[in-house]
Chain A
Amino acid sequence: MTKIIEPKKQSNIFRRPSSETGIWSWITTVDHKRIGIMYGYAAFFFLLIGGLEALVLRIQLSQPDNNFLTAAEYNAMFTMHGTTMIFLAIMPISAAFFNYLLPLQIGARDVAFPRLNALSFWIFIFGGAFLYSTFIFGTAGAPEGGYLAEEVGWLGSAPNGGWFGYQPNAGMKYSPGTAMDFWAIGLQILGIASLISAFNFITTIINMRTEGMRFMRMPVFTWMTFAVSFLLAFSLPIIAIALFYVTFDRKFGTTFFLTEGGGDPVLWQHLFWLFGHPEVYILILPAFGIVSEVLPTFSRKPLFGYAAIVFAGFGIAFIGFGVWAHHMFASAISPVAQAGFGLSTMVIAVPTGVKIFNWLGTIWGGKLKLNTPMLFSLGFIGMFVIGGLSGVTHSVVPADTQQTDTYYVVAHFHYVLFGGALFGIFSGLYYWFPKVWGKMYNETLGKIHFWTMLIGFNLTFGPMHWLGLQGQVRRTWVYAEETNLAFWNVVVTVGAFIIALSIIVFMINWIFSKRNGEKAPFDPWDARTIEWTIPSPTPVWNFSKAPVVKSLDDFWHAKYGEDDEGRSVRRDSADQLLQELEEEGLNPSEDIELPNPSYYPIILASGLPFLGYAVIYYSVPLAIVGTLLLLIGGFGWGTEPLEEAIEELEHE
């Protein structure tokens, strides 16, 4: 008889958490799937907030010299829109995919460090809450000596120095109050969360692969997770230090970015973009991974040039560290640096092109099932190509000096991050929906979602190319009527509301399908990778027995052989195999030991916002509370397994 080994009940400080349902089971969970789901919902919540902020911006810009928002509110909104979308929406949604899928794709029972995984999630939640608490506690105002005609108000009391926080404008003298402190420290906390998950995923991929899952047999999504984790691990320390400098400049009177004391504002740009450019690939590579899973499945063909796609992904990640100054072509850098970084930026287009051509090679000659995930993946290719090509025009440095800081750039990176990353993410959300919930989504609503989003997206960001070239500068609260930019701004605003509509369709589909959707079989797509060999929804223990992998796309080859022409032919044994898999998946034949839930991740994580507030308000008591929470969490954490070992010995 199978048993799932019960968690131990006793620990030194708290009883070991033991609930399996209800809110406590979620708070103390270390299950990668539950953490993934929580990441997903939290990130989607922030995506909605970031979207609302965008709509507010678009209303303001729908006509020239508008006064829907004040300048302070506008600046706060665009800063929070960028910060939210990057750090609180796209990155954590990617983290949701990593968490849920990575162990399933490599045949593991969980990640390498389940409690660290929970810690990442809770730090992310506390970091996001901390950042958004700026709307309650934050203050902002005119630069030292400047005047405002009206109060800033709660909407304007959010960080207002841009998501890029260029110094010295984001310093204390020019951005007084605490709002930018919330930004700097909030990002710091969020960075810790990402850094910890990066360690975890790197270790997991290197060391938790099941038997036979060699590196060159890993699904591309796992490969891209691997690449992203390295990018995170090597770029986040840079921004962490840079944010330390900002916080020290703002709170403790140092002069890192202030020329008065010998500091250098351009240093911030270098440090920021040394992180910021790899960050772009952190946002887009997961979508590359998702698309590389979806296209072969619905083309019923293997991925064209698997090795090329993998190496191109790592090539992009590697070169991504050498192109940062292309964000600074108009800044104080020499022509030699301009030329060098212009060329390196052109070079990065090559592996990106390789990926796109390989995806086209994948669908070419296939049997394309145009359902929602596939539509989003195809849409991804189409939109991402546009973003990639406008990116090439940026690498032409002289042209870029016209385009930089205009809406042309806004158009470019939304084609990459929305048309690219977000389309990929939606593709993945539909694709793995059955695996996560055990239900099918509604195909009609899914297609309506796709088409409205595609139209809204292009109406919103397409005209921005034109607006930018016609001289609309970024981050501007108003534009003069004489600039003749009004018409296309109206179109853009209409497009933005169409996107909002499409998101509502998506939410309706999600909620109803999750509740009333058709029951999903465990392999609804006739898929290729091993996460589809287990029941839907995924059982708590993932795999009843550790799978042994014999090839790339192992599951497909178990189901299909090839005839003389190279066309796939379903094996006679396939149906029986599926039956066996389902049987075994639901009724494991061996004992399963799962990692125990723990209170300590959330306790440890809860210390960080206290430390953040302590710095902002120079408060020693808050610092003590924060440190104590860290120590309690850390000590409990460190001794938890030890206690178990002792108990086990005592029982014997």
Chain B
Amino acid sequence: MSSSHTYPHEPTGVETRKLGMWVFLSTEILFFGTLITTFMIFKGRDFPGMKLTDVYDIPFTSISSFILLMSSLTMVLAHNALEANDQEKTRVWLLATAMLGAVFLAGQIYEFTEFYHKGFELGTNIFSSTFYVLTGFHGLHVFIGVVLLLALWSIGQRQKGLTLEGGMNLEFVALYWHFVDIVWIVLFTVVYLI
């Protein structure tokens, strides 16, 4: 028994908070996995009433999907800017990412409203139930992402600006944002295309 080194000790060499973030995202996969599985199970079964194919507008959703994809690009640009310690550019790209996310959300709200007007409601049948809960759960993730981005942006307005270490970290938000984007690609394929 002897004591020599000091705290903190990270035997894996990975920063503890980043490790925590990865663990969090791995459980997120299970959240979406369960939702998608339910959706797939019921998709092939018989149910009364309308289907998504009766109401949807693929070009519209494709465009909003593209917008969300672009936001991943601006997120990367924000990260690069911060690595170069260009606070001005970081803030601009952060804001752009948040705005693209907000546009996607607006598109989703518009789409839901349209579907409702056409009679495809939450309780119409099992298909509509799974559809709204699945895409809505993703929408909630996008919303939380936008809030996080705006919070980062407002922190960036302060004197000292953003850093790559400490506090609410741009890297974590970026990780989360990319994750949410990737999930959408899966959802878009599963729900709309297949």
List chain A positions with a Cβ less than 8 A from chain B: 108-109, 112-113, 195, 198-200, 202-203, 206-211, 213, 233-234, 236-238, 240-242, 244-245, 248, 252-256, 261-264, 267, 271, 533, 543-548, 550, 554-555, 558, 577, 581, 584, 590, 593, 631, 635, 638-639, 641-642, 645-646, 649
Contact = CB atoms under 8 A, between A and B. Distances in A.
Nearest to A248: B133
Contacts of A237: 27-28, 30-31, 33-34
A558 B1 contact: yes
A312 B35 CA distance: 31
Given A209-B11, A638-B167, A639-B167, A262 B5 contact: no
Contacts of B2: 547-548
A255 B126 contact: yes
Q: Is the interface of A mostly helix, strand, loop or mixed?
A: helix
Nearest to A542: B7
B3 interface: yes
Interface string B16-37: 1101100110111011011100
23 contacts: A109-B8, A112-B19, A203-B20, A206-B12, A208-B8, A237-B34, A244-B133, A245-B38, A252-B122, A254-B123, A261-B124, A262-B47, A262-B126, A263-B129, A264-B126, A267-B38, A533-B1, A543-B3, A547-B2, A548-B5, A631-B147, A642-B167, A649-B160
A207 B126 contact: no
A213 B3 CA distance: 13
Given A238-B30, A261-B49, A638-B155, 10 more contacts: A203-B19, A211-B4, A234-B30, A241-B31, A261-B47, A261-B125, A533-B1, A584-B3, A639-B167, A645-B167
Contact of A240 (B10, B16, B31, B159): B31
B1 A203 contact: no
Contacts of A241: 31, 34-35, 38
8 nearest A-B pairs in the assembled complex, by CB-CB distance = A262-B47, A253-B123, A545-B3, A642-B167, A254-B129, A262-B126, A237-B30, A638-B168
A547 B3 contact: yes
Contacts of A233: 23, 26-27
Contacts of A548: 1-5
A581 B167 contact: no
Contacts of A200: 20
Nearest to A201: B23
A546 B7 CA distance: 7
Interface string B30-64: 11011100100110011111000000000000000
A618 B14 CA distance: 44
Contacts of B8: 109, 208
Contact of B5 (A242, A546, A635): A546
Tell which of A109, A203, A631 has the most Cβ of chain B within 10 Å: A203
A207 B12 contact: yes
Contacts of A635: 151
Tell which of A207, A256, A649 has the most Cβ of chain B within 10 Å: A207
A23 to B, nearest CB: 29
B34 A242 contact: yes
Nearest to A239: B34
